[in-house]
A = this chain, B = another copy of it.
Amino acid sequence: MSKAALLTAATRHGGGLMQAAAAYPDAPRPWLDLSTGINPEPWRGPRAPEAELNRLPDPGALVALEAAAASAFGATLERATATAGAEAVIRLLPLLLGVRSVEIVGPTYGAHAEAWRAAGVATRLIAADQAAASQSGVLVIVNPNNPDGRLSRRADLIAMARARSAEGRWLVVDESFIECAPGDSVSDVVEPGLIVLRSFGKFYGLAGVRLGFMLAAPDLGLRLRALLGDWPVGVDALTMGRGAYADTAWRTRTEAVLAERVARLDEQLTRAGFQIVGGTSLFRMTRTPHAARWFQHLCRAGILTRPFDHTPDGLRFGVPIERDLPRLVRALEAFG
């Protein structure tokens, strides 16, 4: 994509608030960004001290971060490799695995297909009920799925990982939103062909620091690290990631808070005529015959949601905090 195309595509990509503001100059400010599934109430521990910006991140601090995260995931340290966001793993997996075919359970987060296609790998989207029978070199499942929240059950994923491993095939489970469904995580499962991706930014609300993880066989982790170099993440990621993953009280409390928050949103969306297709406690996928008009109407009210090329009658809402809900409700009521 050219730099110009990058800019114009940004509003459809999530996180393109600056572009949306330019396209709707009369919209009230500040914008309410519901275009992503990022927790708007982040974990609030200290950032890296100023002095640490001045140094290369300490390799020991990287291991300490990976240990804290692995422990939170129920995984062992040797399986955890920190990266500058799950995105970094998604983009490099095709190079790491070197297979000739991939099947992706979709529609889902678009970067998966983009990455495999860019690497010249034969890429096919399949339906969820075709996953167990997949014979491709790699099978990718986003769990819970983005944008529709479809959940794959832990027992089914373990069975698939086992069967595929026995045949020398890979199963990639993208658990970017798994904190919303922790019982179905397979982050703790050890199978030679199983690769799990984790995202720090979404549940912990700190997408700006860029932190994610690959959980996989140690030799694969070392090859990923070799592609990323010795300082894959910045000092804020080291400090905040370590603090947040060790904070189990915050995690438990936040699970409950998010569940309450999404129930209130669902009530309002249903009242406004949206059909709620699914989602997680961080985003809701809705269906409406007027998706494009709704998107524009909400933009004029300074509220950014997420439309989809692959589902023109779909609109995804991030889940606002209680304080921001009345603004959304007013905009929902003003549609006509």
The interface of chain A, by Cβ under 8 A from chain B, is: 1-3, 6-7, 10, 13-19, 33, 36, 38, 40, 42, 47-48, 52-63, 66, 77-78, 84-85, 87-88, 90-92, 95, 111, 114-115, 118, 201, 205-210, 218, 222, 225-237, 240
* Closest B residue by C-beta to A88: B229
* Closest B residue by C-beta to A64: B18
Would A54 and B92 be within 8 Å (CB), given that A59-B6, A84-B234, A87-B229 are in contact?
no
Minimum distance in angstroms from A140 CB to a CB of chain B: 15
Query: When the two chains form their complex, are residues A210 and B10 in contact, meaning their CB atoms are under 8 A apart?
Result: no
Known contacts A16-B59, A57-B207; 4 further A-B pairs (Cβ under 8 A): A1-B222, A53-B236, A84-B84, A234-B234
Would A58 and B230 be within 8 Å (CB), given that A3-B77, A208-B235 are in contact?
no
A42 to B40, CA, bound (A): 32
* Closest B residue by C-beta to A232: B84
List the 6 closest pairs (A to B, CB-CB), nearest first. Answer: A15-B56, A87-B229, A208-B235, A18-B60, A53-B208, A10-B59
Query: When the two chains form their complex, are residues A88 and B228 in contact, meaning their CB atoms are under 8 A apart?
Result: yes
Minimum distance in angstroms from A230 CB to a CB of chain B: 7
Q: Which residues of B contact A62 (CB under 8 A)?
A: 6
Query: When the two chains form their complex, are residues B222 and A234 in contact, meaning their CB atoms are under 8 A apart?
Result: no
